[in-house]
Amino acid sequence: MARKSGRFSWSPSPAGRRLRSVTGSRSVAGQMFVLQILIVVLLVVAAVVTLLVQSRSDRFQGARDRSLAAAEAFAHSPGLVNVMRGPDPAKVLQPLTEAARKQGGVDFIVVMNRQGIRYTHPKPQEIGKRFVGTIGPSLQGRITTESVYGPLGHEAQVVVPVMDARGAVVGMVSAGIKVSRVSSAIDRQLPVVLTAGAAALALATTGTALASRRLRRQTHGLGPVEMTRMYEHHDAVLHAVREGVLIVDADGRVVLANDEARRLLGLASDVEGRRVTDLGLAPRTTELLVSGRTATDEVLQVGERLLAVNNRPTDRRGGPPGSVATLRDSTELLALAGKAESAQSRLRLLYEASVAIGTTLDVRRTAEELTQVALTWFADYATVDLAEPVLSGEEPPSGAYREAPELRRVAVAGIRDDSPLYRPGELHRYPAITPMAAGFVTGQPVLVSDLEAAEEWLIQDSGRLRQVMNHGCRSLITVPLQARGVLLGIANFWRTQDTPLFEEGDLSLAEEMAARAAVCIDNARRFTREHAMAVTLQHSLLPRGMPEQNALDLAHRYLPAQTGVGGDWFDVIPLPGARVALVIGDVVGHGLHAAATMGRLRTAVQNFSTLDLPPDELLSHLDELVNRLDQEGATGNEEAVVTGATCLYAIYDPSSGVCSMSRAGHLLPALVRPDGTVEFPEVPAGPPLGLGGLPFEAVDLELAEGSSLALYTDGLVEGRNRDISGGLDTLATALAQPGRTPDETCDAVLAALLPDRQRDDIALLVARTRVLRPDRIAHWDVPSDPAAVADARAAITGQLEVWGLEEAAFTTELVISELITNAIRYATGPIHVRLLYDRTLICEVSDTSSTSPHLRYAADEDEGGRGLFLVSQLTQNWGTRYTPEGKIIWAELSLEQGGW
């Protein structure tokens, strides 16, 4: 309060001023506040009235239900009919009805006769008087419900007929309760309802005040007239300016578009409310309008117009979510945009060329990739010609050319397949006057924008170029393919009359593509050369043919990897006693080092096999050798080592049908029984070669004649898209076919397992067993007595006569005599002699001594020492083989005929 001019004046507080401003009727915000308060008050009043009406109805319904339940329960109680027909029903029924009334929670239970005379009543003075209510329907057997004002007040009462066993109405039972008793619960809830309504009214008033305050702030306190006038001015200005305005909400729908925006974007008049994505605009334009991102003078091409677009979000200062875009016609920037698009297209082409060209190390494939990229982005026809040495991996001669050499067409791509251009594989030479020859000789690209204008060299053309022009080609760029100063070939790009002619700007683009392709082709050429060298080295280190032997039928396949040779190898080594050793191995790694290491291991195995060692002992010696090689590499600071090489070594003896084998980290062999059953025998897995310190174990397998052993490397059964277990299953399925030759088996296995792109070497060796017939084997036990030598010679001579080898009897007797004599003289224990009739005649003398005889030269005065010398001169080969029981001295005699 403040005194002013002798009077009290009241200055409202800031909160009061805001409330007054909000409720002011002149502004839109004030009018909206009053309207919303009235609506909330009406809703609260309506809710309270509805609740009261509903509660009254619910009270009467509750009173009726309780009265009906009590009346029906008493009317159907047993013995009621007999009591009512008795001499004094009131005396019996009065205490019963009072007890039932109290238990049922009703105000009265009245039993009456058919005339309505009461037998019972809560007030005894009312007994004998007529019932107040309607009993007519109940006399007909129906239940009557009504609201009456009886002696107890306003009541809801029910009349239920009492029927005898024949269905005749003998009386009635009425029960009732005052309505006020039922409504007491709702009456207690009514204050709560009113309180909640008041709270809701207060909350709605507060919320409405806040909303109205925000509306007032947004409308700046303007009244309806001012708002109408403002929007009229807004519409006039919005549609009169020569700048498009487009407002989009958060859902991507058009809220507002002025006339200029419709004109610039080609929109319909009913565009408001439609989604931007449904307007048929360009993807880039649609993305900008719906993204809501900030853009400043972003240039968009719409039809033939260039639009400078500014885009801003509308919710920066509390506005609704969405964005507003302004558009200006900037068609004068079309030329600049065209240059930018051209530059972007060139960059895109160079990017595609860098990605698509050179995906493989194959010369022809790289040339095809260049033509495909050019056909997609640059030209209508594209060709690549290369010098012959490039295709074989060699480097063309360096230096300048006086004329274009013979070139081979490697790749052609075009919009049509019937062009007169040279086909892939054709060898040709460009005439000296042609742009191709000029480009090759000078090493510079040549642009012929219009072929029709190049009359000076069309006259000397052989006719091929004229055919190309008649086919529709009108423009040409020819670019030499040059890498490291060496000309590899030439690329030609053609355009037809349906596309724009080549220009100077296209020449640099063609050079970039050709330079990229030339480097890739040169890399592929060098890889081809190195791969060919490695393959040549590898094949030179592998067996060139199978040795002559009768124990096994053999077939083999070796396929080097397409991207580099590896260290896979195999071997077949004849051993004394008609036996044959089978070897297969794999050196970890690829390239020349792996191939060279493979050759060293194969040579080592051949050398160790001359010692006639068991498979496990041979692998032990081989393991020591690999360890020494690793140590040498470590001493020489070499990065590549051979640790991890695997090997499987097997010896098959046709005289017994037993195959002894051992493996060092290699895959299990596959055994095919004569009936086609395939199994992978459990050969103990030793460590890979080079680890050292662990022993190897050998296992003996008895093989029936006609069984097949399949030895292979991991490149056959394992790949990028196939695990080794699946490969072994496929291998077993391919082998499970009886009666096939080893060659047929190899073909079937490769057909089932060879991958589309071979990334590792594959070595496969299939051996089908044969057994030396019993009639080709003879053996005797010889006593350790010099006199037994004569008997042995006689037995051997008889056996040779049986075999038809009388001509070899003398030599055989001499050799056997010498070997038996040495065994009797220098060895101990039993002596055993065995003859094997194979491709050669094999003589074996075994004893229990482990001392091996040595060949020496006897002096002139020596009386002995010439026996082994004679044996070595008379036989093809001889040697010693150690066994667990001792040793075997063997000798092979050459036969003109022989074999199984």
DSSP letter string, 831-872 = EEEEEEESSEEEEEEEES--PPP---PPPTT-SS--HHHHHH
CB atoms within 10 A of CB 454: 18
Query: Tokens 């160079």 correspond to what residue?
Result: 350
User: Cα(730)–Cα(333) distance, rounded to whole angstroms?
Assistant: 67
pLDDT of 237: 65
How large is the average pLDDT for residues 504-522? 87
Reply yes or no on whether the pLDDT at 461 is more than 70.
Answer: no
Reply yes or no on whether the pLDDT at 93 is more than 80.
Answer: yes
Q: Does residue 623 contact residue 692 with C-beta atoms inside 8 Å?
A: yes
CA 685 to chain centre: 34
Q: C-alpha dihedral over 416, 420, 426, 428, to 10 degrees?
A: -140
- Tell me, what amino acid is at 581? A
How large is the average pLDDT for residues 789-812? 86
Please provide residue 39's backbone torsions phi and psi, each rounded to the nearest 5 degrees: -65, -45
The DSSP annotation for 807-838 comes to GGHHHHHHHHHHHHHHHHHH--S-EEEEEEES
User: Cα(726)–Cα(764) distance, rounded to whole angstroms?
Assistant: 18
CA 395 to chain centre: 41
Stated length of the chain: 900
- Tell me, what amino acid is at 63? A
- Tell me, what amino acid is at 135? I
The pairing of strands 886-894 and 877-883 is antiparallel
pLDDT tens-digit map of 729-752: 999 999 998 889 999 999 999 999
Contacts of 220 (CB under 8 A, 6+ apart): none
pLDDT tens-digit map of 573-606: 999 989 999 999 998 877 777 777 888 888 899 9
Residue with the bigger pLDDT between 402 and 790: it is 790
The DSSP annotation for 514-535 comes to HHHHHHHHHHHHHHHHHHHHHH
pLDDT of 3: 41
Q: What 3-state DSSP class applies to 668?
A: coil
Angle (deg, nearest 10), helices 28-75 and 184-219: 160
Please provide residue 80's backbone torsions phi and psi, each rounded to the nearest 5 degrees: -65, -40
Nearest C-alpha neighbor of 708 from the set 519, 582, 888: 582
Reply yes or no on whether the pLDDT at 32 is more than 70.
Answer: no
Q: What 3-state DSSP class applies to 236?
A: helix
Q: What 3-state DSSP class applies to 159?
A: strand
Q: What 3-state DSSP class applies to 323?
A: strand
pLDDT of 732: 93
User: Cα(562)–Cα(882) distance, rounded to whole angstroms?
Assistant: 44
pLDDT of 823: 82
The pairing of strands 685-686 and 658-664 is parallel
Nearest C-alpha neighbor of 434 from the set 406, 471, 460, 467: 460
Reply yes or no on whether the pLDDT at 282 is more than 80.
Answer: yes
pLDDT tens-digit map of 752-768: 988 877 778 889 999 99
pLDDT tens-digit map of 176-200: 887 777 654 556 666 776 777 777 7
* Strand-pair partners of 719: 722
Take residue 264 and report the two structure tokens written for it: 């610039």
Nearest C-alpha neighbor of 778 from the set 756, 801, 755: 801
Query: Tokens 């103990």 correspond to what residue?
Result: 684
Q: Does residue 595 contact residue 536 with C-beta atoms inside 8 Å?
A: no
Q: Is the dihedral of CA 213, 217, 219, 221 positive or negative?
A: positive
Take residue 705 and report the two structure tokens written for it: 């004649």
* Strand-pair partners of 493: 382, 477
